[in-house]
Amino acid sequence: MYRGKKELLSLFSVEDDVFGNETESDMDLEKAALEDTEEAIDHGILVANLALRLAEELGFDSEFRSRVADAGIVHDIGKLQISGLLYGRKEGVLRIEEIKYVRRHPTLGYNFLSKKKIGDEEFRNMILHHHENFDGSGYPDNIKGEMIPVGSRILRICDVYAALVSERPYRPAFEKDNAMELMIDEVKNFDMTFFLAFMRVVHADDFASIDDYIKRCNSKVHVKSKRLQ
Ligand SMILES: [Fe+2]
């Protein structure tokens, strides 16, 4: 398993200004932020490893594979900037105004990485467009088909799969086959060639190490939700 470069993982440290003028008195908020951070890193590592496998299956060279894996590590970094608005969430339904904020996370991530001078424009564009759908119904720019950077098309598939098979405090994880069925229902969102390659990846024998990683992450969430009760 690829665990991410130090330089990228250090970007997840919660910055003082995330919650505005909060003081040290709000320990719960701080604890929730740390848990959000841990979850974000686990999710990033999973997406990175899925992206590595998919890029390999599609025949991309090792330089591109490691770029898309690094983009996988930090693809949701923009979410940490709005975690103060979403923290402690135990229910699945987002309010309209929350959806508006969540939809800003690819742009927030792109801006954050530009400010920190992480990667080049091509790298940051993978992150900016990782929620674009192949039929043009995604965000932030509603671009479609081959207009969407190749890396973003890879991340889109891996991100959705990673989210579905991961346990959340508000819902259980989907089994591999159910997750794939749900993705087939939404296949208009994906590059079909990439999606077919992804199906081969998840059914390959050497996918077991990724399955194990998913199980380990899900058991952590179990412990956490028990603590919340
Ligand atoms: Fe995302």
Distance of CA 51 from the midpoint of ligand 1 (Å): 14
Residue 134 near residue 188 (C-beta atoms within 8 A): yes
Ion ligand 1: residues, CB within 5 A, are 76
Distance of CA 226 from the midpoint of ligand 1 (Å): 26
What is the residue type of 34? L
Mean pLDDT for the stretch of residues 185-213 = 97
Whose structure tokens read 């800003």?
104
207 within a domain of the structure (yes/no): yes
Distance of CA 108 from the midpoint of ligand 1 (Å): 11
Task: Specify the pLDDT at position 74.
Answer: 97
Task: Specify the pLDDT at position 86.
Answer: 58
Task: Specify the pLDDT at position 224.
Answer: 62
Q: Count Cβ neighbours within 10 Å for each residue of 133-163 and write b for 16 or more, e otherwise.
A: bbeeebbeeebeeeebbbbbbbbbbbbbbbb
DSSP secondary structure string for all residues of 58-111: TT--HHHHHHHHHHHHHTTHHHHTTHHHHTT--SSPPPHHHHHHHTTHHHHHHH
The pLDDT confidence band at residue 227, using thresholds 50, 70 and 90, is low
Distance of CA 184 from the midpoint of ligand 1 (Å): 19
Task: Specify the pLDDT at position 169.
Answer: 79
Distance of CA 36 from the midpoint of ligand 1 (Å): 14
Distance of CA 224 from the midpoint of ligand 1 (Å): 22
Distance of CA 106 from the midpoint of ligand 1 (Å): 6
100 within a domain of the structure (yes/no): yes
169 within a domain of the structure (yes/no): yes
pLDDT in tens, 110-169: 999 999 999 999 999 999 999 999 999 999 999 999 999 999 999 999 999 999 999 987
Distance of CA 25 from the midpoint of ligand 1 (Å): 31
Distance of CA 155 from the midpoint of ligand 1 (Å): 9
Q: Read off the pTM.
A: 0.88
Domain count, the chain: 1
pLDDT in tens, 70-103: 999 999 999 887 766 655 555 556 666 677 778 9
Quote the CA–CA distance of 179 and 11 in Å, as a whole number. Answer: 30
Distance of CA 24 from the midpoint of ligand 1 (Å): 29
Distance of CA 72 from the midpoint of ligand 1 (Å): 10
Helix/strand/coil percentages in the chain, nearest 5 = 70, 0, 30
220 within a domain of the structure (yes/no): yes
Query: Residue 88: left (phi > 0), alpha (psi -120 to 50), or beta?
Result: left
104 within a domain of the structure (yes/no): yes
60 within a domain of the structure (yes/no): yes
Task: Specify the pLDDT at position 180.
Answer: 98
Q: What is the DSSP letter of 135?
A: T
Q: Which domain holds residue 146?
A: 6-228
pLDDT in tens, 163-189: 999 998 788 999 999 999 999 999 999
1 within a domain of the structure (yes/no): no
- CATH number of the domain bearing residue 189: 1.10.3210.10
Distance of CA 7 from the midpoint of ligand 1 (Å): 20
